[in-house]
Amino acid sequence: MSSAANDIGERIVRCPACGHDCIYAARNPYRPFCSARCKGVDLGAWANEDFRMPADTPPDDQLFGDPHMR
């Protein structure tokens, strides 16, 4: 992730939710997000399991686990 700095040396980063520039400093209570809305959108996505990792699941008629251990 690349970042820049403002006039007083605070890091400027892109909001992971909307992509706008925001200050990554203690005075931004929503960091790394730019606002409460973006932070809430991200939290809602996690709660909705939108950030799941893809996984191969076996068909319903197969058992889970190592086939050599059966």
Domain limits, the chain = 1-51
CB atoms within 10 A of CB 33: 23
Give which of 51, 21, 50 is closest to 34, Cα–Cα. 21
What average pLDDT does this structure show over 41-63? Answer: 79
Say which CATH architecture domain 1-51 belongs to: 2-Layer Sandwich (3.30)
Look up the pTM and report it: 0.62
| Residue 55 pLDDT | 75
Tens-digit pLDDT profile for residues 16-38: 999 999 999 999 999 999 999 99
pLDDT surpasses 70 at 62: no
Q: How far apart are the first and last CA of the chain?
A: 46
CB atoms within 10 A of CB 5: 11
